[in-house]
Structure 1
């Protein structure tokens, strides 16, 4: 028996406003406290204009940094604001520096188009809503590195994903979140809009002197007492079992026993082929298409079998180095291919790009040409080793002796992990596939909402989360790819 493992994505729909101009509200009042991060949320982007954003920028948005560099993330409905011919960027830079006595001669900035922005303020069903809008973070020039986009390789992949990474560090640990950007082909003809910019001082303010497309950007922000909240809308459909055999990203055999009493093998898809149709029938899933994820853990991961919360179980596993992989295909087949499962092999750490050749400081990018003179190498995808039955070039997703359990995606539920409104927050997630709740026409969501001290973004594709874990008494970095619709990672500073 075979089963379908597919995922569809439907854009969320929101009630439209009858307002002609937005009413700006603040999520909380920080007084004169410096706000390095600001987010503007709207569900009616057609009713706002650049002045609505510019007039509500806090006067202290940049004053804590020497040589501040603004990062701007906008959703597709506002992507035209990033066009050099649009007055928004010029007025935004001018606004940031209008109260500064010692204006630098050169200013750098980063701008990108993202898919959505999550609600980071509500602790109810409203926290699931996904907005249009803009999010801004100000960092010092020394805290950002970038890499120019290379020319398209002949015969190379049609879509080479850029890397946007935010690393949040405190005194003892570092967390990093990598974000896949929005596809803007139907907006401006570019697969991704990801720009590094240089502005020079003039009598009237600042003038855009140069702009380059980026391949990578790594931003580092220093905080105190980081607290992380991870929301993973998953439900278990199989038992936790030992991996017996596999190669690369292909699982071949799992243990029949789920208590470790025996290593007698069975085809990897056996239990999933039985339990997945049962789950679909019990929950009346009409189109019978579901997405499945595998949680891969080391044998020494500690699991509380009495815990009633799948969320707590998953969070604890990730903090011990567990990794989630989408099941790409599997089930059915015969002979050597009977019962195989193929897992998404992508687990790269979002911070590994900091070691890439070409990651440089801001001023270095504009001192030299971004395009290398030497010809690009043949893409690894076209090397003979990755075609056919040879899997030796793929990294090992699950080793013999590891433990694995399968989950299906469920509708996300409201998060209540945030308690301190004054704390700085970094909120990232994956766009949900479910439709948004109907919103009353007099609801605050109809208005432009300013959320101070928050930097936030969502991707329709995936985010990557890296966090410190202890292995054999040593702190190491553990990363996982998160592409579960509705998942969230929130880093909050200032927690005791």
Structure 2
């Protein structure tokens, strides 16, 4: 089922704050309104901003791509896109998704527009940055509310999306799920919460990034505020202080790692099993870019190891994995407070510039009436936020880096990851700046 969508509340720039300060702040602050509101968002862009895109997989799922960065290096063109899945509209329009592409002709300011063509489409792209240097450049941030559970561990054995063994801190090769099985109960105990079902994510880290990510994790643990007079704590106590911090210690570990080529995967299952299947970890797979018909499906797809052989490997030689968790209780409480009409009406609606795309918790499995996301608005009040455009989805945002080696070549994806952590936000703003007329718009500025 395709995800539904909401609109985020625009966030104004504080008076006196510099752009750099606000970008740093938005990278680690919780979203202002958790699940957003119903409404309409529109943006006016030049014709060059409308570009074609590749069809999503599976093909019956609609999506809109936002080109968020373009730059050149070594005569190669890199293009970063963020894909937002379209909402399911089958009960409203009779189609799985609804998106219309139309072309109009202008006849002057006082004359009405003439419709030249119109078609229903399932996928399309919008370039947030035009090719005209006078449009400035995009500065962006990506906020992913995750806390680390472990340090990076090198993967020793895997197949497809199934990880079998990792290398522990003492160099011993252990089952992939062993550390995660031990650390999750500790996470809840440190917060004074009973053990409960939860979701974990695995950050797959290229070998060249492992040292950097390990050092940043250590830095996060050693710079925590002290509790009491005794500032000396051992390693395990540092982890527990991090997990029970209130408010949570939001950080940029994941977002900065993704900007450098790491990939984020939801942990689907792990632990248990007997014999060769004991301790396996199953990660959210990267589907192969081929369609399998009923006639050529491999037999016994219910076996994790057989299914793994049909998928693109999620781990490459030398990669490491680091586990993360989202402090759901903190975020749900904050979202419940934010998603109120009273707070919406009191929000500053000036200087709410920028693009804002993000994720919200899924309501597919929740019972109507039990989740605050199902609550009907008690007011018909309409609020207008000028200068901002956004959308929130219950599905994941897909970040892809495309590479075009030569001008006439077709772009191919070189890195792809899905961000499906609830309350994640991508925010970007156009900065008017003279860049000397260069075609190179610089490296993407994602913190």
TM-score by length of 1: 0.57
**Structure 1 residues 315 and 186: CA distance shift in structure 2, 3 A:** same
Q: CA deviation at 1:428?
A: 0.6
Corresponding position: 1:117 with 2:17: no
Which residue, out of 49, 52, 67, partners 1:143? Answer: 49
Contact 1:291 1:408 in 2 (8 A): yes
- Secondary structure of the residue aligned to 1:306 is helix
**Structure 1 residues 233 and 339: CA distance shift in structure 2, 3 A:** same
Aligned to 2:285: 345
Aligned to 1:38: none
Deviations 1:227-271 (A, max 9, x none): 2211111122233211100011110101122xxx52x31111111
Contact 2:154 2:321 in 1 (8 A): yes
Contact 2:30 2:145 in 1 (8 A): no
- Separation in 2, partners of 1:493, 1:253: 45
Contact 1:199 1:207 in 2 (8 A): yes
Corresponding position: 1:219 with 2:153: no
Q: CA deviation at 1:327?
A: 0.8
**Structure 1 residues 335 and 125: CA distance shift in structure 2, 3 A:** closer
Corresponding position: 1:275 with 2:187: no
Which residue, out of 269, 288, 291, partners 2:196? Answer: 288
Which residue, out of 216, 236, 239, partners 2:148? Answer: 236
Contact 2:53 2:125 in 1 (8 A): no
**Structure 1 residues 280 and 191: CA distance shift in structure 2, 3 A:** farther
Aligned to 1:165: 65
Q: CA deviation at 1:422?
A: 5.6
- Separation in 2, partners of 1:333, 1:491: 45
Aligned to 2:359: 430
Aligned to 1:248: 160
Aligned to 2:319: 402
Aligned to 1:320: 260
Which residue, out of 69, 85, 89, partners 1:184? Answer: 89
Aligned to 1:100: none
Q: CA deviation at 1:166?
A: 1.1
Contact 2:142 2:255 in 1 (8 A): yes
Deviations 1:96-132 (A, max 9, x none): xxxxxxxxxxxxxxxxx96011123157877124121
Contact 1:346 1:481 in 2 (8 A): no
- Separation in 1, partners of 2:294, 2:167: 33
Extract unaligned runs of 5+ from structure 2. 15-28, 73-77, 130-134, 224-248, 339-349, 363-370, 404-412, 434-447
Q: CA deviation at 1:344?
A: 0.9
- Separation in 2, partners of 1:468, 1:385: 30
Deviations 1:10-52 (A, max 9, x none): xxxxxxxxxxxxxxxxxxxxxxxxxxxxxxxxxxxxxxxxxxx
Aligned pairs (5 A) from 1:371-386: 379-380=292-293, 383-385=296-298
**Structure 1 residues 286 and 207: CA distance shift in structure 2, 3 A:** farther
Contact 1:148 1:214 in 2 (8 A): no
Extract unaligned runs of 5+ from structure 1. 1-8, 10-75, 77-112, 151-155, 353-376, 416-420, 470-475
Which residue, out of 382, 393, 399, partners 1:459? Answer: 393
Contact 2:83 2:398 in 1 (8 A): yes
Q: CA deviation at 1:170?
A: 6.0
Deviations 1:131-178 (A, max 9, x none): 21111122333432347989xxxxx97x73223101134666754211
Q: Which protein has the bigger helix share?
A: 2
Q: CA deviation at 1:215?
A: 2.6
- Secondary structure of the residue aligned to 1:118 is coil
Q: Which protein has the bigger strand share?
A: 1
The root-mean-square deviation of aligned C-alpha atoms, in Å, is 4.2
Q: CA deviation at 1:213?
A: 2.7
**Structure 1 residues 149 and 279: CA distance shift in structure 2, 3 A:** closer
- Secondary structure of the residue aligned to 2:184 is helix
Deviations 1:339-373 (A, max 9, x none): 1111112389xxx9xxxxxxxxxxxxxxxxxxxxx
**Structure 1 residues 285 and 200: CA distance shift in structure 2, 3 A:** farther
Aligned pairs (5 A) from 1:61-76: none
**Structure 1 residues 395 and 334: CA distance shift in structure 2, 3 A:** same
**Structure 1 residues 453 and 175: CA distance shift in structure 2, 3 A:** farther
